[in-house]
Amino acid sequence: MNKKIVQGLGFAVLYLCLAATLFFLGTIIYFILVKGIKIINWGFLTEVPRRAMTEGGIAPAIIGTFYLTLGSIIFSLPLGLACAIYLCEYSPTGYIVNIIRLSINNLAGVPSVVFGLFGLAVFVKYFGFGVSILSGSLTLGILILPGIISAANEALLAVPQSLREASFALGATRWQTIKKVVLPSAMSGILTGVILGIGRAAGETAPILFTAATFYTRGFPKSPMSEVMALPYHIYALMTEGTHPDKQTAIAYGCSLILLLLVLSVSGLAIYLRQKQRGHAYGH
């Protein structure tokens, strides 16, 4: 066969895969959009639910999801980054490091409902944080920790060794090198990890099921110790409880659309930041 034909076929397959992926993504967005858009108006975004969830808005759930996600990042980013820095920049390669890496990878494979149970046992009960934003954030934080660590780890590994050498050769300490050369270069990769983490934390239901979420609150959360409504859990609750399935389903689609937009816009923001940061490195 002519190698040009082979190449053509290769590209055709790649385009097909791309098209299929875009098709699925497009259908999901379209489906949610069509079903959800009808119910969305200003009131839906800013009001509290009324009449046993069949009317009113979902503002407390939006706020709740925001707090939970923010809390999980505040908790997992410093910890994950510190962990990745230790693994990449300080620890000698060896037995213990391999065990740590293995554990992190295994942690990533634990089903999210198990994290939920863990959060219930440890944060809610043992530490006595109760069903609260704090407990939920910590549980979500642990859930996304492996992802943050491995993204940060990869970003750090991708920083060329020659840059570290350049810094050391000028009399910089290890910490100065990390702070001034390695981290800035790895920032875009780390941000990617954070984006993925945000997306995951915002969308998970099981980890907050027993640790943070509740079907209904009067008004908005007052402190980190309050229990909250959250979008994914609200969708779940609307679809499984209550007495007006048709009205509730409509609201659930509205929630889904909001959740989707939230996650997409966070990703968009992070991609923008990343691009800007990358451009900065090249002086554009």
Q: Which of 100, 84, 77 is nearest to 153 (CA)?
A: 84
Stretches 26-34, 140-148, 178-186, 203-211: which one binds another protein (CB under 8 A)? 178-186
User: Which CB sits closer to another protein, 19 or 281?
Assistant: 281
Q: Is 172 an interacting residue with respect to another protein (CB under 8 A)?
A: yes
Tell me if 32 sits within 8 A of 256, measured CB to CB.
yes
Stretches 7-15, 31-39, 79-87, 160-168: which one binds another protein (CB under 8 A)? 160-168
Q: Could you say which of 176, 214, 249, 267 contacts another protein (CB under 8 A)?
A: 176
280: tokens are: 């900065």
**Any idea of the CA torsion for 199, 201, 203, 207, to the nearest 10 degrees?**
160
- To the nearest whole angstrom, how small is the minimum distance from the Cβ of residue 140 to another protein? 33
| φ, ψ (nearest 5 deg) of residue 173 | -80, 175
Stretches 180-188, 199-207, 215-223, 248-256: which one binds another protein (CB under 8 A)? 180-188
Stretches 8-16, 22-30, 158-166, 229-237: which one binds another protein (CB under 8 A)? 158-166
Tell me, by CB under 8 A, how many residues bind another protein.
26
Q: Is 95 an interacting residue with respect to another protein (CB under 8 A)?
A: no
Tell me if 105 sits within 8 A of 93, measured CB to CB.
no
Tell me if 72 sits within 8 A of 137, measured CB to CB.
yes
Longest dimension (CA), the chain: 71
Q: Is 241 an interacting residue with respect to another protein (CB under 8 A)?
A: no
Adjacent-strand bridge partners of 189: none
Alpha helices, H only, 52-132: 59-85, 95-108, 112-119
Q: Is 160 an interacting residue with respect to another protein (CB under 8 A)?
A: yes
Q: Could you say which of 2, 162, 223, 243 contacts another protein (CB under 8 A)?
A: 162
Cα gap 97→255, rounded to integer Å: 43
User: Rg of the chain over CA atoms, in angstroms?
Assistant: 22
Q: Is 169 an interacting residue with respect to another protein (CB under 8 A)?
A: yes
Between residue 99 and residue 138, which ones bind another protein under the rule CB under 8 A? none
Binding site for another protein (CB under 8 A): 92-93, 160-173, 176, 180-181, 184-185, 280-284
